[in-house]
Structure 1
Amino acid sequence: MNIFNFDSRAYRFLEKITDFLLLNMLWIIFCLPIFTIFPATAAMFGVVRSWLRKEEPSLTRMFFKFFKDHFKQGFILGIIWTCLGVLISFNIFVGFQMDGSLKNVLLPTLIFIGVLFLFTSIYLFPIMVNYKNNGIGIIKNSFLFSISHPLTTILGILMLTVVVLATSVIPLSFLVLSSIVAYFNYYLCSKSFRKVERQKNISFKKEVS
């Protein structure tokens, strides 16, 4: 089989792998200043959203557009979410150092808050690129989706766990896994979005009738 046949499955497969590699490299480059991690991640999710919607203009042009469109919101939300994550992690660490009955009450509460933080994080970027919301709206809707669609949330966490484990064993896997996980994470979340949108549409029709 001639892999250079543009209509062949092998060529399309290689083309898609190349797209994922390029997207991952763009994401890594734009994350290098550190403070741009959230806008760069939003741009990556914006690109995979376009792929899933069969909108496929220039990958580089798409990435730059989404990075520009979500820079301010992503930057501010990144500061808020990072500070919140650090605060929760610090309190859990302190909770483990405690002794007595206070630890038995406080530590489970802190861990529960940490789990909710992690759950909400799964939906954060899909919500950001799929709906027009302010920062508080993104966090609120991410939280509501995470608890109302637990299976998607758990699958998202499992994918992140696999990436962390794979990267720790094979560091170079990081060069492609991030964009692939973003793709499947958005794919799973988009199913939840469509389900809720269909339910709202049905409710609206019932109210009108």
Structure 2
Amino acid sequence: MNSLNNRLYSALDTIVDLFLLNLLWVIASLPLVTFFPATAAMSGVVRNRILQKETDGILKSFLKMFKENFKQSLTISIFWILLAVFLFIDYRLIYPGTSVVQLILSIILAIGILLFSSTSIYLFPIMVHFELSWKHVIRNAFLFSLMNPVLTVLLLIIVGAGIALLYFYPVTILFIGSFTAYTIYYLCQMWFNQLLNMKVTD
């Protein structure tokens, strides 16, 4: 009975912390230019929670992670926004169109958008888990998205579902960010552990 109560208390404590973390993430993301640093901070707090390295409160941990990842995440955000704008301009130039050339360009663009989206999923888990330069964060995120296509598709579905919920039910902004980040990092951590075990075995 005590064991059940302890697990219930732990689950409720995690849910409350995730709500608070989501609130901090929303507030920190309001200037928009701080979206990447805020998301990196949220991912860092989630990582510490999953790995049971959380020694400070949610607020203190979030501010610490925000400061630690600010420069690198902001640098990546500039590069990522430029790349997103480039893809959007290509989309506007290609569509609408029915020629063979436009069809080929459309396929290439679709692959580019898929790779961009897949790489984006891994940016923050890799950023907070490994000590890498911003260039290597992007490179490893790209490689990881190709190395485990099943996980990549699953993560894309999770993010897509989160975006759909937010679109149809805006009230989900109260929790969708941190719960999505928790799920994504949890699955990525399993993948990181598998890679580590493979490396040790070799």
- What TM-score do you get using the length of structure 2 for normalisation? 0.93
Structure 2: distance between partners of 1:73 and 1:160: 23
Q: Name the counterpart of 1:54.
A: 52
Percent identity (aligned): 36
Partner-residue secondary structure (3-state), 1:70: helix
Is the 1:48–1:182 Cα contact (8 Å) retained in structure 2? yes
Q: Name the counterpart of 1:169.
A: 168
> CA shift at 1:50, angstroms?
0.4
Is the 1:92–1:111 Cα contact (8 Å) retained in structure 2? no
Q: In the comparison of the two structures, how many residue pairs are matched?
A: 198
2:22 to 21, 24, 30: 24
Q: Name the counterpart of 1:15.
A: 13
Q: Does 1:73 align with 2:72?
A: yes
Partner-residue secondary structure (3-state), 2:102: helix
> CA shift at 1:102, angstroms?
1.3
> CA shift at 1:37, angstroms?
0.6
Aligned structure 1 segments of 4 or more residues deviating by more than 6 angstroms: none
Is the 1:39–1:74 Cα contact (8 Å) retained in structure 2? yes
> CA shift at 1:64, angstroms?
0.7
> CA shift at 1:165, angstroms?
1.4
Q: Does 1:153 align with 2:152?
A: yes
Which whole-Å deviations, capped at 9, do the CAs of 1:115-172 have from their partners, x for residues lacking one?
A: 0111111111000000111111011100111111111111111111111111122111
AA aligned opposite 1:74 = S
AA aligned opposite 1:33 = P
Structure 1: distance between partners of 2:90 and 2:101: 13
Structure 2: distance between partners of 1:157 and 1:126: 14
Structure 1: distance between partners of 2:195 and 2:73: 25
Q: Which consecutive unaligned segments of at least 5 residues does structure 1 have?
A: 2-6, 204-209
Is the 1:89–1:114 Cα contact (8 Å) retained in structure 2? no
Higher relative contact order (CA 8 A, sep 6+): 2
Is the 2:22–2:174 Cα contact (8 Å) retained in structure 1? yes
Partner-residue secondary structure (3-state), 2:175: helix
Q: Name the counterpart of 1:117.
A: 116
Q: Which consecutive unaligned segments of at least 5 residues does structure 2 have?
A: none
Structure 2: distance between partners of 1:196 and 1:87: 33
